[in-house]
DNA sequence: ATGAAAGCGCTAACAA
DNA sequence: TTGTTAGCGCTTTCAT
């Protein structure tokens, strides 16, 4: 392992000062004569010079790094968001520290602390636990944060949101428009604003159509505390909840779920028990993850622009970090129905 | 935004020197009197001190950060690996820079360069393009690298491998043991050692059973250059290749695929065309990603210990970085048959 | 247009 | 046990 080459080595080689070398190698706008500049660049190449960003960062107080805290990358929903974030981060020459919180407050705290110590000035969080005060603390220390998909009640936080309520409404309306009246709602616990939003939209659509929901239509699984995360949990949840539906005397003809994985689990269970989808029961998912196009029947669902949200969040963060005035502190993206094959169509259309 | 608190501020407050403060706050083994130590810790808390790791890193030449380069986090296979890596990295107080290369050599180079500049000393790569010389260069600059799942012909690189050949063999053998003789192989291009390994195992099992493969059994899709990555590509690939099988005069009774997504696509296409799985055609996948338990029928597949590989790779890296002698430069993990429902069982068992 | 010098926050060799 | 001092590699006033 060879010793690191520094700007001083280059300076010595071309008989210039470190300052000048720094100026040309860091693309400073400071004037340096053409000739010397060329010589320095050449020398840098010859010596196989690699700048040490730690030095620069310490001096400029800019770590060129952002942090991203999400529940788990194993959930394709978040994977997409991260991909969007990374794409624009790269354009701005920033790296991203990935932090999978597994919904564990202690881990979240740990990560937050690490990011702070590493002088990360920008953070994107998606569904963080109750860390309001902690975040407030970090904001005070100069960290800029963008929240995706979760309204946080701190004035300094920028937000990229999604209209879950409307999504739930559109989903339910789609079912109603196709002749369904008995519509069940299957979900993981309504402990997150997003799920509550979907539920609300569902209720509103029912109400608008003059439908009085039966309490049995509402199937919410109470997760066991400490349960491991991952796609499989949601899927299994969908199966379990669907089973409750199957054996009902007066069973619903349609199902709305809080996400695609739950929907796919439900479809699976229905089919296992010989209940045909969509002929006997229609299913509509939520999020439009890639897998929804890989099941039979193709899952009708509500599109959630995950990748775009990631991109937007990161652009916003970059603007904020650069001190560019960001006028809208909150952007709400819109849902869109993806009409595929898991919902039975009204014949008289 | 308040000014940063440094060890000097603390030193001043307790009438000690910065050196002493550093010693207690960095958990150095250097002796400091109990009393003073307490006072310093208290002061740190009072001032709400956050250490600036850039300073430490610059001094100690240890960035406490590792890089991970994978094709794409949107592939659940890699997501699992990353999760495993992150878990042990966290235990060692390291952060991970996530780099999705999208199989783009230019991006890979860019990331490699950035990591180097940020003084990242440890790198884990999974399926990187032809960057042998570039990597050699980086090794020379002191970077330690662990390669997952891809043999790289550079002596200084540690490897965590997987016995793909044996996996292919086990899969094919399983089919043969259940009475199949006409077995197709569906795959993405055989440009990666992993896929070639599976293919080889498949061939060996056939040969061992005295089966002469028809050329039509071999269905390899040639990806179009620049095609976007993502689960959907593999899935679609599986569909397309399965279609070729369906219409054959003397068609195979079983299919082996290079990964689960391809298998799921194939099953999908078969079912769409009314071909029953496993009754008419059996399908066996590879990798055992979570989705394989979410399809109907449940996919029989070969387990690939992704998460564990991530963990092992990271432990190994941590050992290497700490100068702990690592005796085995190469570890090969073993495949395991996951016997589910997509393969028709021989009745006379 | 170039250079000298100071310093970002921290650690570590050396001195006391 | 504690402090002094000298950097780590870089940028950036301030002189020249």
Q: What is the DSSP string of B197-250?
A: HHHHHHHHHHHHTT----GGGEEE--PPTT---SHHHHHHHHHHHHHHHHT-TT
Q: Is the CB of A6 under 7 A from strand D?
A: yes
At A268-288, the pLDDT tens digits run 999 989 999 999 999 999 999
Partner B contacted by A55 (CB < 8 A): yes
Beta strands in B36-113 (DSSP E): 65-70, 95-100
A284 SS3 class: strand
Q: How many CA atoms lie within 13 Å of A342's alpha carbon, on the beta-carbon side?
A: 32
Q: At A197, is the pLDDT very low, low, confident or very high (cuts 50, 70, 90)?
A: very high
Q: Which of B79, B93, B265 comes nearest A73 by C-beta?
A: B79
Range with the lowest mean pLDDT among A33-47, A161-175, A217-231, B175-189? A217-231
Rounded-to-integer distance, Cα A51 and Cα B229, Å:
32
Q: Fold match between B61-162+306-336 and B165-303?
A: yes
Q: Is the CB of B26 under 7 A from strand D?
A: no
Instruction: Return the closest nucleotide (C1') to the Cα of B20.
Output: D2
Query: What's residue B349's pLDDT?
Result: 46
Query: What's residue B9's pLDDT?
Result: 95
Query: What's residue A129's pLDDT?
Result: 79
Which architecture characterizes domain B165-303 according to CATH?
Answer: 3-Layer(aba) Sandwich (3.40)
Query: What's residue B226's pLDDT?
Result: 56
Which residues in chain A have their CB less than 8 angstroms from residue B1's CB? Answer: 140-142
A275 SS3 class: coil
Is a pLDDT exceeding 70 seen at residue A348?
A: no
CA–C1' gap, B62 and D4, in angstroms: 25
Averaged over B239-255, what is the pLDDT?
A: 95
Is a pLDDT exceeding 50 seen at residue A154?
A: yes
Rounded-to-integer distance, Cα A122 and Cα B222, Å:
42
B256-265 burial, b at 16+ Cβ within 10 Å, e below that, comes to bbbbbbbbbb
Rounded-to-integer distance, Cα A217 and Cα A244, Å:
10
Is a pLDDT exceeding 70 seen at residue A1?
A: no
CA nearest A67 in B: which residue? B97
Q: Which CATH superfamily groups domain A61-162+306-336?
A: Response regulator (3.40.50.2300)
Name the DSSP class of A47: T
Query: What's residue A349's pLDDT?
Result: 47
**Domain boundaries defined on chain A:** 7-46, 61-162+306-336, 165-303
β-partners of residue B338 are B301
Q: Are B151 and B159 in contact (CB under 8 A)?
A: yes
Partner B contacted by A47 (CB < 8 A): no
Partner A contacted by B234 (CB < 8 A): no
Q: Which of B82, B107, B117 comes nearest A53 by C-beta?
A: B117
Query: What's residue A224's pLDDT?
Result: 60
Is a pLDDT exceeding 60 seen at residue A228?
A: no
At A67-101, the pLDDT tens digits run 999 999 998 899 999 999 999 999 999 999 999 99
Partner A contacted by B51 (CB < 8 A): yes
CB atoms under 10 Å from CB of A81, counted, come to 29
Query: What's residue B222's pLDDT?
Result: 76
Q: How far is CA A74 from CA A19, B13, B68, in A?
A: 47, 47, 16
In chain A, which ranges are continuous DSSP H helix? 7-14, 18-25, 34-46, 53-60, 76-91, 105-117, 132-140, 164-177, 193-208, 231-246, 260-272, 306-321
Is a pLDDT exceeding 80 seen at residue B332?
A: yes
CA–C1' gap, A295 and C8, in angstroms: 56
Dihedral, CA atoms, B36, B40, B42, B45, nearest 10 degrees? -170
Mean pLDDT of chain A: 92
| pTM for this prediction | 0.92
Q: Is the CB of A8 under 7 A from strand D?
A: yes
At B70-107, the pLDDT tens digits run 999 998 899 999 999 999 999 999 999 999 999 899 99
Tell me the count of A-B CB pairs closer than 8 A.
149
Short-list A245, A223, A242, CA closest to A233: A223
Written as six digits, the tokens of A229 are 């995360």
Partner B contacted by A74 (CB < 8 A): yes
Q: At B227, is the pLDDT very low, low, confident or very high (cuts 50, 70, 90)?
A: low
Rounded-to-integer distance, Cα B163 and Cα B165, Å:
5
Q: At A192, is the pLDDT very low, low, confident or very high (cuts 50, 70, 90)?
A: confident
Dihedral, CA atoms, A299, A303, A305, A307, nearest 10 degrees? 0
Angle, helices A34-46 vs A18-25, to 10°: value is 90
Q: At B3, is the pLDDT very low, low, confident or very high (cuts 50, 70, 90)?
A: confident
Is a pLDDT exceeding 50 seen at residue A142?
A: yes
Dihedral, CA atoms, A305, A310, A312, A313, nearest 10 degrees? 130
Is a pLDDT exceeding 50 seen at residue A60?
A: yes
Q: How many angstroms separate the CA of residue A345 from the nearest CA in chain B? A: 19
**Residues in contact with A12: Cβ distance below 8 Å, sequence separation at least 6, in sequence order:** none
CB atoms under 10 Å from CB of B274, counted, come to 8
Partner B contacted by A276 (CB < 8 A): no
Q: Which of A54, A83, A95 comes nearest B97 by C-beta?
A: A95
Instruction: Return the closest nucleotide (C1') to the Cα of B57.
Output: C10
Rounded-to-integer distance, Cα A336 and Cα A332, Å:
13
Query: What's residue B228's pLDDT?
Result: 56
Mean pLDDT of chain B: 92
Burial of B336 (0-12, 13-18, 19+ CB in 10 A): middle
Q: Which of A48, A54, A140 comes nearest B54 by C-beta?
A: A54
Rounded-to-integer distance, Cα A99 and Cα A112, Å:
9
Is a pLDDT exceeding 70 seen at residue A328?
A: yes
Query: What's residue B178's pLDDT?
Result: 96
* Protein residue closest via CA to C1' of C11: B59
**Residues in contact with B48: Cβ distance below 8 Å, sequence separation at least 6, in sequence order:** B5
Averaged over A12-28, what is the pLDDT?
A: 95
Q: Are A295 and B291 in contact (CB under 8 A)?
A: no
Q: Do B118 and A53 touch (CB under 8 A)?
A: yes
Q: Is the CB of B232 under 7 A from strand D?
A: no
Q: What length does chain B have?
A: 349
């Amino acid at each position: 392992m060879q010793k690191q080459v520094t700007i001083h080595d280059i300076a010595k080689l071309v008989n210039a000062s470190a300052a000048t070398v720094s100026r040309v190698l860091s693309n400073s706008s400071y004037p340096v004569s053409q000739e010397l500049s060329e010589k320095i660049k050449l020398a840098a190449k010859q010596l196989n010079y690699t700048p040490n960003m730690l030095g620069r960062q310490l001096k400029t107080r800019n770590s060129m790094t952002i942090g991203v805290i999400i529940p788990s990358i194993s959930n394709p929903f978040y994977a997409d968001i991260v991909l969007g974030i990374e794409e624009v981060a790269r354009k701005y020459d920033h790296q991203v520290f990935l932090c999978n919180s597994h919904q564990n407050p202690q881990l979240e705290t740990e990560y937050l602390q690490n990011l702070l110590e590493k002088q990360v000035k920008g953070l994107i969080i998606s569904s963080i636990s109750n860390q309001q005060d902690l975040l407030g603390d970090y904001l005070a220390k100069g960290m800029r944060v963008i929240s995706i998909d979760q309204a946080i009640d701190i004035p300094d936080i920028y937000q990229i949101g999604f209209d879950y309520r409307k999504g739930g409404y559109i989903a339910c309306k789609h079912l109603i428009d196709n002749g369904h009246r008995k519509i069940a709602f299957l979900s993981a616990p309504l402990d997150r604003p997003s799920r509550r939003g979907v539920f609300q939209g569902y209720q509103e659509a029912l109400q608008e159509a003059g439908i009085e929901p039966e309490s049995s239509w509402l199937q919410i699984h109470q997760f066991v505390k400490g349960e491991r995360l991952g796609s499989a949990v949601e899927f299994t949840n969908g199966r379990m909840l669907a089973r409750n539906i199957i054996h009902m005397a007066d069973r619903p003809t349609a199902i709305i779920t809080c996400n695609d994985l739950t929907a796919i689990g439900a479809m699976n269970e229905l089919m296992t028990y010989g209940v045909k989808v969509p002929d006997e029961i229609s299913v509509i998912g939520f999020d439009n993850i890639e897998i929804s196009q890989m099941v039979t029947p193709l899952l009708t669902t509500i599109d959630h622009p995950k990748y775009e949200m990631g991109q937007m969040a990161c652009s916003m963060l970059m603007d904020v970090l650069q001190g560019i005035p960001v006028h809208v502190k909150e952007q709400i993206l819109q849902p869109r129905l993806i009409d595929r094959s898991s919902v039975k169509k009204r014949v008289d259309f």
